[in-house]
Chains A and B, each alone.
Chain A
C-alpha cells in the first residue's frame, strides 16, 4: 500500500510539473499581428435624380435651357477613413432616358477651392416615350489616382441637351454609386 501511495504521489508531482513546463504554443507566429488589416469593401449609393423637361425651363423667362447643373457636397470624402485608408473606388453612373435627344453628361469632382480633380464625361443615348434607353458608365480610380478622390469634396452633375428636331419631352433618371475599398 505504501509503495502504491508513494508511486502515485510521484506520478502526480511529475505530471503537475510536466504540464506546467509543457505549457507552450506551437506552430504559430504572433509577429503576424503586424500584418493584420481590415479590408472592408463598401457599396454606397451616391446621387439620384428623376427629372423631366420642366427642369430645363428657365423659371424667369419660360424658355428652355440647354444646360443645367447642380452641386452636391460629399462631406464624407473629407473623413479620416477616406483620407488615410481608401485604396480604390469604382464609380458607377446610370442614366435611363426617354428624351428623344442625346444629352451630354458631365460629372465633375471638385476640391474645396473648386479645382477640378477628375471628371467623367459621356453621352446619354436618346430614348423615346415608352422606350427608355439605359446608358451606363464606370470609372475606376485605383491607388495611383486615389489622391484625386481624397482632394475632392464636391460632385457636380451637369447636363447639356444636344441640338435636334424632336420635341424635347421625356424623363431622365439618374442613379450612381461607389464601390469603396479600404485597408485599415
Chain B
C-alpha cells in the first residue's frame, strides 16, 4: 500500500513514495467490516425443513462466551497531506468511526432461551456479559519522518469527539439452581457475587428529551457532539519501518493508544449483591378472621431488593480505545518500471511484493489476532492488485482482493475480504469492504 495515503493511517511510519494527497471529501475512505465467530446466517435461517428454534438452541449451545460479534465502520470526511521537506510528510484529516464489539453472553442467553430446567446444578455466568460500542469523530495530525536511509518513523496525534458510548466489561456473578435432596425444598436458587455495570454516555439526554426533540434537533445535537461538543479524548498512533536490506522491509505500528473521557450525558447502571432462596415460608400464625395475613411476598421482595441491588449513577468514566498493533515484513522481487535504487527517494521498487502481517486488536477479553499473507503485484505504472490470505477467528479461508488504479493524479481503490464467501454470504462469518478515491501527487 506504499502508494496509497491510507497506509499512513495504519502505520504513520510507513515507507511512502508520494509527495501529496487530497481525499475526495466523504469518499476518500469508506470502510465497513462485520464478523461473527461461532454462528452464521445459515446456522439460524437454513431452509432445510428443521425448526428454527431448535437450530437457535443448538447454535447457542455450540457457541462459547469467547465467541463474538464485531462491526466496524469508518468514513473519512477530510484527508490531506503533503511533503514538508525531503524527510518529513505531514498528513491530517477527520474521520467518523463506529465500533461495536460484543461477546456472546452465553449464560444469560441460554437462561432466557431455555430456562434452568436442563441446567440444574450448573451456573449461569454473568461474567459472559461483555460488550463495547462507540461512535466518535476523530481529528488527526500525523508526521512521517525519514530518519535515515533505512529507518522511517511516524506518529499521529488524535483528538476524539465522542457521540455515543456504551460498555459493560469485567462483570461477575453467577446464578445456579441447585437440587437439594436433603434440603428444605427441591431446589435452592442462588445468586452469588453479582456485579454487573453498564456505562453509557450520549443516550440519556436523547431518551429524556425524545418527547420534545425533533429529528432536526436530534441531528443538530449529534453534529454538535461530532464537532467537539461531546465527550473528548486523546490518542496516539506510532509506527516505524526499516529497510533491512534491498529486498526486505520490516514494519510495526500501534494505533489508537488513547482514551475517551466520558463526562457528559453519562448514565450508568449497576446490579450487585448476592441472595439465595428455597421459597417462601408460611408461619401458620394464630389469626382471627379479621386479622390481616402476613405479607410474605412483600417481605420477600424487600429482602431481595436489599440483597440484589440496582443503582443508576452519573459518574464519569474513561474508555480505552481498542488498541491495534501491527507487525509486518515484506519481500520485494522482480524489476520495477522505474530505474530504482532501494535507497532512492522514489521508492517504486519492485513489481512483486510478498508479505506477512500480524495484527491484533485489544478487546475486553484479550487481543483478537489476524495473520495475513499477501502477494502484491504491480500490473503497470497505474494499476496494482493485491491478493491476501488471512487466518483469523472467523475462518481459515479468508481470501482478499485489493485493486487500485490511478488516472493521472486521481486514484481509486477497492478492497474486499473473504471473497470466497461472496457467492453464499449466508455461510460467511465475516465480510469487509473498503473503497475510496483521492488525488495522489508523486512529484
Chain A residues with a Cβ under 8 A of chain B: 5, 8-9, 12-13, 15-16, 19-20, 22-30, 32-33, 35-51, 55, 58-60, 68-75, 92, 94, 157, 173, 175-177, 179-180, 182
Contacts and interface: CB of A to CB of B under 8 A. Distances in A.
Contact of A51 (B284, B401, B424): B284
Interface in B188-240: 188-189
B115 to A, nearest CB: 3
A58 B379 contact: no
B244 interface: no
Given A5-B383, A24-B422, A39-B53, 16 more contacts: A16-B414, A19-B416, A19-B419, A23-B423, A25-B41, A32-B47, A38-B112, A40-B116, A43-B116, A45-B277, A47-B280, A47-B281, A48-B278, A49-B282, A71-B293, A75-B301
Interface stretch (B151-159, B179-187, B352-360): B179-187
Interface of B: 41-42, 45-48, 51-53, 56, 111-118, 120, 177, 184-189, 277-286, 293-297, 301, 377, 379-380, 383, 385, 401, 403, 414, 416, 419, 422-426
Contacts of A30: 45
B330 to A, nearest CB: 20
Contacts of B279: 45-48, 175-177
A64 B281 CA distance: 22
A18 B157 CA distance: 40
A7 to B, nearest CB: 9
B426 A36 contact: no
A72 B379 contact: no
B369 to A, nearest CB: 26
A44 B278 CA distance: 9
A157 B282 contact: yes
A12 to B, nearest CB: 5
A165 B37 CA distance: 71
A48 B281 contact: yes
B117 to A, nearest CB: 4
Given A8-B377, A35-B53, A40-B113, A45 B278 contact: yes
Contact of A70 (B56, B113, B283): B283
Contacts of B422: 19-20, 22-24
Nearest to A51: B284
B52 A49 contact: no
A148 B178 CA distance: 29
Nearest to B179: A43
Nearest to B424: A26
Contacts of A28: 41-42, 45-47, 426
26 contacts: A8-B377, A9-B379, A12-B385, A12-B401, A25-B425, A26-B424, A26-B426, A27-B48, A29-B47, A32-B52, A33-B45, A36-B52, A36-B56, A40-B116, A43-B116, A44-B189, A45-B277, A48-B184, A48-B185, A49-B284, A60-B286, A73-B296, A74-B297, A75-B297, A75-B301, A176-B185
Nearest to A15: B401
- A26, A28, A180, most chain B CB atoms within 10 A: A28
A8 to B, nearest CB: 5
Contacts of B383: 5, 8-9, 12
B373 to A, nearest CB: 19
Given A43-B116, A75-B301, A177-B186, A16 B45 contact: no
Contact of A39 (B114, B189, B278, B419): B114
B184 A50 contact: yes
Contacts of B423: 22-24, 26
